[in-house]
Structures are given as C-alpha cells and as structure tokens.
Amino acid sequence: MFFRVTYHWLLFLLFMLAAPCAQGQVFLINGGNVTTCGGALLDSGGEGGSGYGDNENYVMTICPADADSAISLAFVIFNLSAAGTVPTDQLSIYDGTDTSAPLIGTWSGTNSPGIVSASFANTSGCLTVEFTSNATGTGVFTASISCSHPCEPPTAWAVMSEAAPALICQ
C-alpha cells in the first residue's frame, strides 16, 4: 500500500510529538472564531490535504482560553502561490478581534510571517487572520498556536541637568 506524505501531515506528526500539551487541536482557516491555547492553524486543505483552493476569502479570529494571555502564531510552513494577477494570494494578521484592529502585516509568496503575537496593548489577546487567494494557483500554510503572557514594553525616561538641547554621544 502506498502512502502519500504531505507537508501538512508531516508537520502535524511533528507537532503532536513536540507539543503534547497542545492537545492536538487542528483548526482550518474556514472562518469563525476559535478559543484555545494550543493547536495548529492549517489552510483549508486540512491535514494531509493538498493545500488551499482558488478564490478563497476567510477571516478567522483566534482568542486565548486563559485569562491575561495572548495568542502567538508560529508559522512553520508558508508557501502561498504568486501565480495569476495581482492581488496574489495573501495572509494578513490583525492585532485584535476583527479586521478593524491594527494591521500587524500582510504576507505573500514564501515571505513567512514567522512568529506573530498579540501585543501588550491588545487587551483581548486575540489575533484575527484574513486569508485570500486569487483564481490561479494554490499553496499551503501551517502555524502552531500557543498562548503567552505579553510583557509590557519598556518606557525610556531621562532627566537632564543641562539646558536643552543636549549633545548626546554613544
């Protein structure tokens, strides 16, 4: 019997072995809201699938299951099609509960987002992911989902004993 191994299946297997605390929850980017602190976000092709299809347009909000936590997405596979007319297939991530939240970034092709986390200023701890594909070409993407406790960014503060402007050297 012949088995076809795909990127999603291999990733899922590695994910399950490396992160047993994530409880193996798999979420397809097919819209809606998810509340979790562990699992994997996959394109619409799902586990073992061949990837997403043409003309997709999904918005999914992922919120933390733990209070005072923030969602982090670590993209381990990111290969979107650059075929067809502009706009090409792209993934946008927003720092909040919907697409009106501040845009963290938009990625396409093989330019992976890497690790994206909700900011300290985002009191919901949610990330909203928007995926669109055009009519030509397909691809794959997968991210692990985790929760973290965001750190407050440092604030610079100084007192000058001299009158302004001050000359500062490195």
CB proximity list for 49: less than 8 A, separation 6 or greater? 6, 8, 42, 43
Looking at residues 38-42, what average pLDDT do you find? Answer: 96
Question: Is residue 20 scored above 60 in pLDDT?
Answer: no
| Range in 4-8, 42-46, 50-54, 110-114 with the lowest mean pLDDT | 4-8
Share of the chain above pLDDT 70, in %: 83
Interval 99-139: pLDDT, tens: 999 999 999 999 999 999 999 999 999 999 999 999 999 99
Per-residue model confidence (pLDDT) at position 126:
98
Q: According to the model, what pLDDT value does residue 24 have?
A: 64
Q: 64-109: per-residue pLDDT in tens?
A: 999 899 999 999 999 999 999 899 999 999 999 999 999 999 999 9
CA distance 98 to 129: 8
Structure tokens at 46: 């799902």
Per-residue confidence (pLDDT) for residue 162, from 0 to 100: 72
Under the banding of pLDDT at 50, 70 and 90, the label for residue 157 is confident
pLDDT at position 94, please? 98
Weakest mean pLDDT among 56-60, 135-139, 158-162: 158-162
Q: How far is CA 15 from CA 86, 126, 148, in A?
A: 34, 22, 18
pLDDT of 170: 67
- Whole-angstrom distance, CA of residue 27 vs CA of residue 31: 10
Do 68 and 150 form a contact (C-beta atoms < 8 A)?
A: no
CA-based R_g, the chain, Å: 19
Phi and psi at 161, nearest 5°, equal: -90, -15
Buried b / exposed e over 27-45, threshold 16 CB at 10 Å, is bbbeeeebebbbbbbbbbb
Confidence class of residue 23 from pLDDT cuts 50, 70 and 90?
A: low
Whether residue 7 has pLDDT greater than 50: no
pLDDT for residue 69: 96
Pairing mode of beta strands 38-42, 140-148: antiparallel
